[in-house]
Structure formats: C-alpha cells, structure tokens
Amino acid sequence: MAKRKRSGRPPQAQHATNRKPSQHDKRKRLGNHNAERQRTTGASVPLAGGIAALVKSMSGQLDARIAFRLPIVIAGAILAGGRRTAASWFRCAGVKDDWDRFYELLQSIGKNAASLMLPLIMFILKKFDPGEQGHWTLAIDDSPTKRFGPCVEAANIHHNPTPGPGDGDWLYGHNWVCLAMVLGHPIFGVIALPLLSRLYVRKVDIEALKARYEWEFHTKHELALDLCRQVMRTLRALGSKASFVVVFDGAYAAKALVRPLIAEGATVVTRLRRDAKLFDLPVNKAGQRGRPRIYGKNRMSLSKRAGRRDGWQTISYVCRGVTASGRYKTFLATSHIVGGPVRVVLLEHASGNWAAYISTDALMSVETILQTVSDRWSIEEHFHDIKEIWGAGQQQVRNVWSSIGCWHLCGWLHAMVELECWDEPIEQLVDRSDRPWDNPNRRPSHNDRRRRIARQMLRDAFLSDLQTATDDRKIQDRFERLLALAV
C-alpha cells in the first residue's frame, strides 16, 4: 500500500463538544458573602535579598490595591516544585481564601507587562551599561508551549520546533515571540535575560478574541518589531547612549522587520537561506543621469561560492564562552531584504556543511558576526530553562491575559535569579561535597541558582527565631540536611 504524502498545512484542533459547566462559578461565589473568609497579607516564606527589592519596584507599577500580591506569587513560584501550576504557586506562598484575587492578579500582570518590565530594565542598565562606544545585543525568537482543552483562549495548532521521539511535527498550545537581552558572564558564558514577549495568535482565532478583547492580528515579524522598538526606546529614554545589535534566525530575515530596525538605528545580524537573492555591488558612473543604483546587475549564488575550494580562510572566535575555529568566506553584496549593502559570511561547519550569515553593518568584522550569531543560541537555552525549571505553560489558566501574565512571570523569574547570582562565587551557588561521583568544577546550572535563592528564603524564615537561643547548632545542622532533601 502506498503511503499518503504528508500535507504541509497544519492540522486543525479537534475537541469534544460535550462540556460541563464549571463547578466553581464565580458569580455564585461572589453572591454568597462569607464573613469568615481569611485574607492573605503576606507570603508564608517571604522573598529575600536583591530579588525582594526588585519585585517591590515592579509591584509599584500595579494598582495599590493588588500590588502587595505580586511578591507573594513570586515567592510561591520560587519555592514550588513538581508540576508548577498556578495553584502550586499559591499553595507554596500560603494563599488563603482570597485565592480568586490572585488569579485576577495574573490577568493584571499580562495587561501591564510593559510597565512591569521597567524596573528590570532599569536594573540591567545600571549594572551593565556598555557606554556610548558599546552596544546592547537583543535576541528575537519564538517558542510554543503545550496546552490542553477547548477553553484555553488563543490556543491552536503550531509548529513544534523540537519534536521528541513521542511528539509530532505540530502541537496544540500558545506561541510566544520573545525578546531577550544577551549578556556575557565572565564565568558562565553568554546568558539571555528575557524582557518582554508577545502572544502570536493565528488569523483563524482572531474573531473569537476580537469580540471579547478587541484583539488585532499581527504577524510574527510585526510583533518582533514592536518588541524591539519598545525596548530600544525605553533604554534610550532612560539615558543609554549605546547602540543596538539585533540578532535572530533565518525565519525572521524579512524586509518587514529588517528595514524598520535599520531605520531605528540598529544593526541586524541574521542567518540567510542558501537560495537567498543577492546581487553584487552597484557601479555608478560619474555624471550618470537618474538615481544611483542600489543593487548590482549580477545575481550572486551562495551555493556556487561555497562550492569553490579556493578563498576559504581560517578564523578563531568566541562561541558561547569557548574559543572555536572554523573556515569562512566573506564578501560584500546587496540584498532586497536590507535595501542596501551587507556583509556576507559563509561559515563551514563540516565538509559540505555550511551556513550563510549577514550583517547590515558592512564594516562589522567577521569575528564579531560569528560571535553574535553564536550568542543568539542563549535564547534557546532560556526557553529550555523556563519550561523545564519554571514550568512555563503548566499554569492551567484559561484566560488569555492570565496566560500572558504567567509566561512573563516565568521569564522574569529566570532573569531575576540570574541577576541575583551574577556576582556570586561558584562555591556559594552549589555544594557537591555530598556527590563524590560528580565533577566539582562543573558549571552551576540555572536550577542550582534557583535552589540557592530558595534555601536562603527558607533560612531567613525558619532560623530567625534561633538567633537568641543558647545552643542552636544541632537544630541548624538538622535544618540544613532537611533543606538539602527538600529543595
């Protein structure tokens, strides 16, 4: 029997039609006043250190009536384990009978994500400002999160970029366009700090959201451009004089995104398709009538250039904190995507395996282009961490603004933990003395940093009453053993 050829179109979402009404009807709950309802005033284990100060600044961007709930939710998210649903956040934070108000907080976070980002970006500017001669590196990429159920707003079928052995090429859920700040750590290499994201909604789902939220359809390129403009203009308004380098993969190498970024004064570094349409440099003669040519007359073939054995050079560059070497070719060309000249770099990964990259700054060195391209991979590591460690997409909320709020909380938690542990020595982040089989010099993971902060929160909360005791050494030792097993 002949196999059926797979269609390139995404499949359609299919759900059962028989649905039962929710047993937790909010209208009934609000109609029955409960005089004994206990209100949550603080987290059972409050935040500590620099994260507490940063979260306090972020809560100042919210309405004063709900701002006190943000540190409570973040404290619960740091301590939560297992499947990190919103309910597990609330349980670890010690939320009481007013749990429904905390679900409303998630909606407010989603609606005010741009304002809540401001204290975080101010902290990054104060600590890492590269100055007028330096530049900020911004990375753009999109990533899906799996969801389940017909009542999850704005969820639909999306392409699965990393299908496992039991996964398919498509998944049902949300798709997020994310912008992250790429910074270099002296020990841990390149780290991506997520700042802001946008939810990409397919055009077939717009009508359902438009009736309720006045949602408008935007392509991924439009969402990425809006993110870049918002972050770049915010940094400039805060007094930053540095320039901007925006890096993304080949899926975003489109005229609708690249040209507006150039107009904003940014340099774009991206990957090119092997069949990209390039031309040589124009030759404009003196005294020639009409406007000068932008593109050359001759079409350039990347495959032919890469196929020639001559012209390859050897280069060493920093690839994600490690010095790497490879063979490359470079030349100038003109592209309709950019609307002018670009610097093209062909990098050979193996014999016959090569990739093409471009920079809109024709004077940028080959080493800088290759290092910027390799630094872009840090945003992929960020996606892995917020899904595996912070449980992005597991919160089991249905409202679209709640989903946006939960995604941003997971991303900001990743950024705040990295910033809190930025200057900490390795010995303070992880202790592997109880694991003699492990490599003691192995780089601490992001989860090691999270566990260090969670342990400090628990120490401050449970050992504060023992400071005046006469003999508390045994109690503290036993507590440290319990921490090692629990967190």
pLDDT tens-place string over residues 397-445: 999 999 999 999 999 999 999 999 999 888 888 878 778 888 877 888 8
pTM score of the predicted model: 0.90
Kindly report the average pLDDT of the chain as a whole number: 88
Cβ within 8 Å of residue 2, ≥6 positions away? none
Q: How far apart are CA 409 and CA 404, in angstroms?
A: 9
Using CB atoms within 10 Å of the CB of residue 27, give its burial: 0 to 12 exposed, 13 to 18 middle, 19+ buried. exposed
Residues 248-277 as b/e (b if ≥16 CB within 10 A, e otherwise) read bbeebbbeebbbbbbeeebbbbbbbeeebe
pLDDT band at 462 (very low <50, low <70, confident <90, very high): confident
What would the mean pLDDT of 220-226 be, rounded to a whole number?
96
Cβ within 8 Å of residue 281, ≥6 positions away? 296, 332, 333, 334, 341
What would the mean pLDDT of 15-37 be, rounded to a whole number?
68
Q: How far apart are CA 218 and CA 228, in angstroms?
A: 15
Q: How far apart are CA 140 and CA 292, in angstroms?
A: 34
Question: Is the predicted pLDDT of residue 284 greater than 90, yes or no?
Answer: no
Asked whether 293 and 283 are in contact (CB, 8 A), the reply is yes
- Minimal CA–CA distance to 210: which of 201, 221, 198? 201
Question: Is the predicted pLDDT of residue 1 greater than 60, yes or no?
Answer: no
Question: Is the predicted pLDDT of residue 481 greater than 70, yes or no?
Answer: no
Question: Is the predicted pLDDT of residue 225 greater than 70, yes or no?
Answer: yes
Q: What is the pLDDT of residue 257?
A: 95
What are the tens digits of pLDDT across the range 60-72? 999 999 999 999 9
- Point out which residues pair with 279 in neighbouring strands: 299, 334
Asked whether 344 and 272 are in contact (CB, 8 A), the reply is yes
pLDDT band at 485 (very low <50, low <70, confident <90, very high): low
Question: Is the predicted pLDDT of residue 34 greater than 80, yes or no?
Answer: no
What are the tens digits of pLDDT across the range 348-403? 987 778 999 999 999 999 999 999 999 999 999 999 999 999 999 999 999 999 99
Q: What is the pLDDT of residue 19?
A: 64
Q: How far apart are CA 429 and CA 451, in angstroms?
A: 8
